[in-house]
Structure 1
Amino acid sequence: MTDMVSVERDGRVATVRFDRGSRANALSQRLIRDLTQAALGFHDAPDISAVILTGRSDQFTMGADLKDPERQDPAQVPLSQRRLLQRAGPRLCAAWEQVDALTICAVEGWCIGGGMALAAACDLRVASRETVFYVPEVERGMNMSWGSIPRFVALLGPARTKRLAALCEKIDAETALDWGLCDALADPGGTLARAQEIAGSAAALPPTALKMVKQDVNVAAMALARATAHRDLEAFLLMQESEDFREGVASFLEGRTPDFTGD
């Protein structure tokens, strides 16, 4: 599809791979757009029963690319423009959540921040036994956005979501399986094969009935999602105005311990 995103089809199963060419496999603005377009290609695809999403063979993604050339200093961008720019992440996750077919995320290595939001937007997750799930946004002086909090709550419940997204706990693969954050484990390098097994089971079922049940479950689980996530973009824009946001990003890029003040 692009130099960073490829799409393969095998019968009723499609596989979407993304690779930035670096080990971090960070989510740049361009990659976010490409992955959104890949998902939209499956919104009206009656011949596809399952879509697998995976990153590099050694790393899913270490989250949003804070060094992305398209990233601009919030102080230099008008609020009206920042609101538009910040819609890319929520649009990406919504596009994957709204794929008609069953979506399976195959995760190797780290799954961080925006990668966690993307993985939670899929129906199922297969993780390597060495995978670590991590939501560091609060440690960077910002709130977790992209509409992810209702999805985390639906998967984990309130208390575990607070541990993941508010306390920034790193969740290993065994804990993720116990919590319901992932649905199956595989040896390192084996997550795609395990995801293909699950996708094969989906492809053997009546496709329309499968998709109907998926949609019914999503509606039941996410009935209040819009009501509870509608403000996270605006909250992110507000946090961009804070000293803690600037300190969180600067300390991360400089590799030092942040000094937060609450301002």
Structure 2
Amino acid sequence: MREFNNLIYIVEDQVAVITINRPKFLNALNSEVLHELSEAIDEIEKDATIRAVVLTGAGEKAFVAGADISEMHQKNKPEGRDFSFYGNSIFSRLEKLQQPVIAAVNGFALGGGCELALACDIRIASNRAKFGQPEVGLGIMAGFGGSQRLPRLVGSGIAKGLLYTGDMVTAERAYEIGLVNLVVDPSEVLEEAMTMAKKIAAKSPIGVQYTKKAINEGLDMDIESAISLESDLFGSLFSTEDQKEGMSAFLEKRPPVFKGK
């Protein structure tokens, strides 16, 4: 299994688990962490057996407390743009993975950490987790997609309130506004994420992948184009072994065995 300096990467029951492992620094994102996250995504893209991904942070205090300010504070304008572009490119790769990605948010998800969670498909949070985009208090703004993904997820009004004030919200409030899917006790966060990931892994990989594609691409289209995309993807699935197996299993009253073909 691939080893990293700042990440723990394992594959269990067709689920890849990425743990950002800098608990001393509250798992803050620096260039090295981002580079290793990109390499972990490479590993997932090369492994056809992986059907879902779980992303979490080491320790009990933080998922990711933000980007590493000690690395950022001396950057000039071109360097700041390059850092934002680099982080955004990696988060976009995560968002566009064929497999669903579940964020298991075990503590602070602030700044780049909140943006990392936003790039995932689903967010399961500890009841002690806190979310926020505090960048305006540092004289900057969200730079890893927060100004774009947050409004798309919770609506522009709520997003603007969070982005303009830099306020943190509790896990319960994050659930109320649609930022997270589920809030559980701290001891259950990773377990719940793995349970959901394994449930997804048991379904048709192609069906799940096409569903993700339809949602992600359809959100940027007008409704007529999005419906046309859905119909095209739906039709394509009827040429797959998974469709034949899934429907045959249903009619034969047995569990399906999907091969992702």
Q: Secondary structure at the match of 1:47?
A: coil
- Report whether the alignment pairs 1:62 with 2:65: yes
2:95 to 81, 94, 97: 97
CA gap 1:148/1:7 in 2 versus in 1, 3 angstroms: same
- For the aligned residue pairs, the C-alpha RMSD in angstroms reads 1.8
Unaligned runs of 5+ residues in structure 2 are 223-261
Counterpart pick for 1:33 among 32, 35, 49: 35
> Equivalent residue for 1:74?
75
- For residues 1-263 of structure 1, the aligned pairs below 5 Å read 1-58=3-60, 59-68=62-71, 71=72, 73-75=74-76, 80=78, 82-223=80-221
Question: Which TM-score applies when normalising by structure 1?
Answer: 0.78
Q: Is the 8 A contact 2:13 2:198 kept in 1?
A: no
Conserved 8 A contact 1:125-1:181: yes
What secondary structure is seen at the aligned counterpart in 1 of 2:172?
helix
* 3-state SS, counterpart of residue 16 of structure 1: strand
C-alpha change, 1:221 and 1:6, in structure 2 (3 Å) is same
Q: Shift of the alpha carbon at 1:203?
A: 0.8
Return the offset for 1:24.
1.8
User: What displacement does 1:116 show?
Assistant: 0.8
TM-score (norm 2): 0.78
Asked if the contact 2:17–2:55 (Cα under 8 Å) also holds between the matched residues in 1, the reply is yes
- What do the CA deviations read for 1:141-179 (whole angstroms, capped 9, x no partner)? 112122232211221011111122122221101111111
Match of 1:261 in 2: none
| Partner Cα separation in structure 2 for residue 216 and residue 44 of structure 1 | 22
> What are the ranges of 5 or more consecutive residues in structure 1 without an aligned counterpart?
225-263
- Contact 1:40–1:99, Cα closer than 8 Å, also in 2: no
C-alpha contact 2:14 2:49 (8 A) present in aligned 1: yes
Match in the other structure for 1:229? none
CA contact (8 A) 1:55 1:107 kept: yes
* 1:29/1:82 CA distance change after superposition, 3 Å: same
Cα distance, 1:44 vs structure 2: 4.5
Structure index of larger Rg: 2
Q: Equivalents in 2 of 1:184, 1:99: separation in Å?
A: 22
Q: 1:85 to 1:169 in 2, by over 3 A?
A: closer
- After superposing the two structures, state which structure 1 stretch, 145-154 or 196-205, moved more: 145-154
Percent of aligned positions that are identical: 28
Q: Distance in 2 between matches of 1:9 and 1:67?
A: 32
> RCO higher in 1 or 2 (8 Å CA, sep ≥ 6)?
1
CA distance 1:44–1:219, change in 2 (3 Å): farther
Moved over 6 A (4+): none
TM superposition shift of 1:23:
4.9
Distance 1:21 1:144, change over 3 A: closer
Q: Deviations over 1:100-124 (max 9, x none)?
A: 1010000111110001111100000
